[in-house]
Chains A and B, each alone.
Chain A
Amino acid sequence: MNLRTFLLGTCSAVALAGLAQAETLTIATVNNGDMIRMQKLTDAFTSKNPDIQLEWVTLEENVLRQRVTTDIATKGGQYDIMTIGTYEVPIWAKQGWLLPLDNLGADYDVDDLLPAIRSGLTIDDKLYAAPFYGESSMVMYRKDLFEKAGLTMPDAPTWDFIADAARKITDKGNEVYGICLRGKAGWGENMAFLTATANAFGARWFDENWKPQFDQPEWKNALDFYVKLMNDAGPPGASSNGFNENLSLFQTGKCGMWIDATVAASFVTNPKESTVADKVGFALAPDTGLGKRGNWLWAWNLAIPAGSQKVAAAEKFIAWATGKDYLTLVADKEGWANVPPGTRTSLYANPEYQKAAPFAKMTLDSINAADPKNPAVKPVPYVGVQFVAIPEFQGLGTAVGQQFSAALAGQMSVDEALASAQKLTEREMTKAGYIK
């Protein structure tokens, strides 16, 4: 009898444990400030959903991209939620690799998402990823240096003004350089900046028949302008500078201007990290009067891979992490300035946020000014402002970026770099079947 009771008890205990066993969501994510903050705040989610546990896989962006691409392409099923960029979402959705997010809940308020961001994540009227934070690019400049040089930065500057100001501010003897721009080769490094800038100069990657356009005068103008400006007013060794290198230069007071991601605003205005925190002003990315500003559009988004076994729990988490309440939660715990930017219209209407984040208006204006469906002055067959949303672009962008980085370093002329870019792009696009 005793033994039977014991056995019965054990069995029911095991059964109960099985029932109560929480579902574990494995989430792959990037090591960016906003993501790390979210990981620290997930207690708020798990206390409301005790049946869901979270397991984080945080990786450096490029490692993560390779890792999740391998997993999703082979249907490896290692992740229940993936953090992916605006570049991947349309390509993966078309491949059938992502599940549409149909059940984010009644109070999710999809219409509150910023239209520019939402449109990049929507394919055939279905949302395939929910934006966690969004960004564009803008000019960050040193108000004190501008004042000293007798210059006033307009809200919407032209490239001519920027170049002129950069040359005036440059004081190489004191290690102050007028402008810091990306030069490190990579589709997400110098090519993000140069592709977006080329849009403002009237250039485009491909014409309507997918013919590469590097042999056109617009690209020559853009690249010539960039190389000359950087030689005159840029820091030494600029061809190896990416986001982080420029951030470090700007924070230590060595740059008069820096045109880069809006997310940098919270870093350069943070007195704990930046020596110029109280001297930074913001302006829209410059144009050349052709109707397009060189500002890009990017968002880090949460998506569910097709074939996932835990869709309901994953949707619950995504709705929490990208919902309105999450913004309030961050504001309560860490202050409004630390709320993930660039996803919801309501955030920008919030007076408390406007007060806490001096860069709020400029971020919103920059995001709204970007148009991924019509990025260039002339018509294009692709989607994407600072990238071309085709699978071949990662390789192509990096190869072209290497030519342009070499031109900046003085290893080849602008003409040689463009000719080489044209040749390699033509070859790859023919091989991939775009050019018949």
Chain B
Amino acid sequence: MARNVSTQRKLVITVVAWTIGILIFFPILWTFLTSFKTEAEAIASPPSLLFFEWTTENYFEVQSRSNYFRHFMNSVVVSFGSTLIGLVIAIPSAWAMAFSPTKRTKDVLMWMLSTKMMPSVGVLVPMYLLFRNTGLLDTRTGLVIVLTLINLPIIIWMLYTYFKEIPGEILEAARMDGASLAKEIIYVLTPMAIPGIASTLLLNIILAWNEAFWTLNLSAAKAAPLTAFIASYSSPEGLFYAKLSAASTMAIAPILILGWFSQKQLVRGLTFGAVK
């Protein structure tokens, strides 16, 4: 009997989990399906889910109109670059705040988070002028700098919470054995925090990949990443939903695949320290 209940419970949980999963994934699935429709079928009502004439013409059209590879490379450089630089800065600062907190550490952390609360558009003009004067407009370097700065508070916060879970005694022991500060961080702390660092890395790559405000406003032709690639297919006057869907699918595919392969790491990192 007990076994029966448990099977039933399992069934309910499975059904609920699948329903939620499909609900969350549905917009992406819909975009994917629409990208294989003709423009007329894309707006047809009622819409057809699977029984339509599949076509790849949108992908050819998108490919012939824009340089996908250049946008893709820009996205890769900008998101990986900004995340790696961010990690290099954030690991020592999170270490300092986690293991040698001062009276003001909490305030500093709050202050860092508060920079995320300001609407980006509020500083658009000063940032634009700074970029213009330093010749950083429409360069990958400029985008890497701005995305590093934007994501730094999140990286530090995430690493700080992971580091807090690591017993300080282990680091003390390393110190007792004569490890220098750098060695302590590189050889003792970092390997222990790998799941946390990995999930921070992945999450920030995703955030940087999707960042659309600064990447659109500070780039033009040369450094424009995939966000600009998608924006070039949206139009208030004309229905290009199928082409827009094809462009969106091409833009999200790499990050989706990356997330797919690293989901174990991502979930492990995100729930790291959740149960004490």
The residues of A with any CB-CB pair to B shorter than 8 Å are 26, 28, 30-33, 36, 39-40, 55-63, 66-67, 70-71, 73-79, 188-189, 242-244, 247-248, 251-252, 254, 261, 263, 267, 272-275
**Chain A hits for B222, CB < 8 A:** 55
The reply to whether B239 and A247 form a contact with Cβ atoms under 8 Å apart is yes
Q: A59-B228, A248-B43 are in contact. Are A79 and B220 (CB under 8 A)?
A: yes
Q: A67-B217, A251-B40 are in contact. Are A62 and B128 (CB under 8 A)?
A: no
Q: Which of B230-238, B255-263, B266-274 contacts A (4 or more CB under 8 A)?
A: B230-238
Shortest beta-carbon distance from B70 to chain A in Å: 11
> Which of B43, B228, B240 has the largest count of A CB atoms less than 10 A from its CB?
B43
The reply to whether A76 and B239 form a contact with Cβ atoms under 8 Å apart is no
Q: Does B3 contact A (CB under 8 A)?
A: no
- Inter-chain CA distance A247–B65, complex, in Å, is 24
The reply to whether A78 and B43 form a contact with Cβ atoms under 8 Å apart is no
**Chain B hits for A78, CB < 8 A:** 137-138, 220
Other-chain contact of A31, B128, B137, B216, B234 (Cβ < 8 Å): B234
Q: Which residues 207-256 in B have Cβ within 8 Å of A in the complex?
A: 216-217, 220-222, 224, 228, 231-240
The reply to whether A31 and B220 form a contact with Cβ atoms under 8 Å apart is no
The reply to whether A59 and B231 form a contact with Cβ atoms under 8 Å apart is yes
The reply to whether B235 and A66 form a contact with Cβ atoms under 8 Å apart is no
Q: Interface size of B by Cβ–Cβ distance < 8 Å? A: 32
**Chain A hits for B231, CB < 8 A:** 59-60, 63
Q: Does B45 contact A (CB under 8 A)?
A: yes
The reply to whether B233 and A31 form a contact with Cβ atoms under 8 Å apart is yes
The 6 closest A-B pairs by CB, nearest first: A58-B232, A60-B234, A31-B235, A78-B220, A248-B43, A55-B221
The reply to whether A63 and B216 form a contact with Cβ atoms under 8 Å apart is yes
Shortest beta-carbon distance from B190 to chain A in Å: 40
Q: Does B181 contact A (CB under 8 A)?
A: no
Shortest beta-carbon distance from B164 to chain A in Å: 41
Other-chain contact of A70, B43, B44, B66, B128 (Cβ < 8 Å): B128
Q: Does B125 contact A (CB under 8 A)?
A: yes
A-B contacts, 24 listed (Cβ < 8 Å): A26-B220, A28-B220, A30-B235, A31-B234, A32-B238, A40-B65, A55-B221, A55-B222, A57-B228, A57-B232, A58-B232, A59-B232, A60-B232, A60-B234, A63-B216, A73-B125, A74-B128, A74-B129, A76-B128, A76-B132, A254-B45, A273-B39, A273-B239, A274-B40
**Chain B hits for A70, CB < 8 A:** 124-125, 128, 217
**Chain B hits for A254, CB < 8 A:** 45
The reply to whether A33 and B238 form a contact with Cβ atoms under 8 Å apart is yes
- Inter-chain CA distance A430–B128, complex, in Å, is 30
- Inter-chain CA distance A275–B235, complex, in Å, is 21
> Looking across the interface, which residue of chain B has its beta carbon closest to that of A186?
B236
> Which of A39, A76, A243, A247 has the largest count of B CB atoms less than 10 A from its CB?
A76
- Inter-chain CA distance A263–B44, complex, in Å, is 21
| Known contacts A39-B65, A71-B128, A78-B220, then 5 further A-B pairs from the complex at CB < 8 Å, ordered by chain A residue | A62-B236, A73-B125, A78-B137, A252-B45, A272-B39
- Inter-chain CA distance A58–B235, complex, in Å, is 10
The residues of B with any CB-CB pair to A shorter than 8 Å are 38-40, 43-45, 65-66, 124-125, 128-129, 132, 137-138, 216-217, 220-222, 224, 228, 231-240
Per DSSP, are chain B's interface residues mostly helix, strand or loop, or mixed? loop
Shortest beta-carbon distance from B212 to chain A in Å: 9
> Which of B45, B231, B233, B238 has the largest count of A CB atoms less than 10 A from its CB?
B238
- Inter-chain CA distance A70–B123, complex, in Å, is 12
**Chain A hits for B235, CB < 8 A:** 30-32, 60-61, 244
Shortest beta-carbon distance from A47 to chain B in Å: 19
The reply to whether A26 and B221 form a contact with Cβ atoms under 8 Å apart is yes
The reply to whether A188 and B125 form a contact with Cβ atoms under 8 Å apart is no
- Inter-chain CA distance A267–B224, complex, in Å, is 30
- Inter-chain CA distance A251–B44, complex, in Å, is 9
- Inter-chain CA distance A28–B217, complex, in Å, is 13
Shortest beta-carbon distance from B45 to chain A in Å: 6
- Inter-chain CA distance A55–B43, complex, in Å, is 32
**Chain A hits for B66, CB < 8 A:** 58
The reply to whether A61 and B237 form a contact with Cβ atoms under 8 Å apart is yes
Shortest beta-carbon distance from B118 to chain A in Å: 18
**Chain B hits for A30, CB < 8 A:** 235
Shortest beta-carbon distance from A260 to chain B in Å: 9
**Chain A hits for B43, CB < 8 A:** 248, 251-252
- Inter-chain CA distance A353–B135, complex, in Å, is 48
The reply to whether A242 and B236 form a contact with Cβ atoms under 8 Å apart is yes
**Chain A hits for B45, CB < 8 A:** 248, 252, 254
- Inter-chain CA distance A274–B39, complex, in Å, is 10
Shortest beta-carbon distance from B226 to chain A in Å: 14
Other-chain contact of A267, B129, B138, B239 (Cβ < 8 Å): B239
**Chain A hits for B38, CB < 8 A:** 272
Q: A63-B231, A251-B40, A252-B44 are in contact. Are A74 and B132 (CB under 8 A)?
A: yes
- Inter-chain CA distance A72–B228, complex, in Å, is 19
Shortest beta-carbon distance from B18 to chain A in Å: 31
Shortest beta-carbon distance from A67 to chain B in Å: 6
**Chain B hits for A32, CB < 8 A:** 235, 237-238
> Looking across the interface, which residue of chain B has its beta carbon closest to that of A36?
B65
Other-chain contact of A57, B44, B221, B236 (Cβ < 8 Å): B221
Shortest beta-carbon distance from A183 to chain B in Å: 14
The reply to whether B232 and A31 form a contact with Cβ atoms under 8 Å apart is yes
The reply to whether B125 and A244 form a contact with Cβ atoms under 8 Å apart is no
Shortest beta-carbon distance from B224 to chain A in Å: 7
**Chain A hits for B39, CB < 8 A:** 272-273
Q: A31-B240, A56-B221, A60-B235 are in contact. Are A77 and B125 (CB under 8 A)?
A: no
Shortest beta-carbon distance from B251 to chain A in Å: 14
> Looking across the interface, which residue of chain A has its beta carbon closest to that of B125?
A74
The reply to whether B217 and A76 form a contact with Cβ atoms under 8 Å apart is no
**Chain A hits for B239, CB < 8 A:** 244, 247-248, 251, 267, 273
**Chain B hits for A33, CB < 8 A:** 238
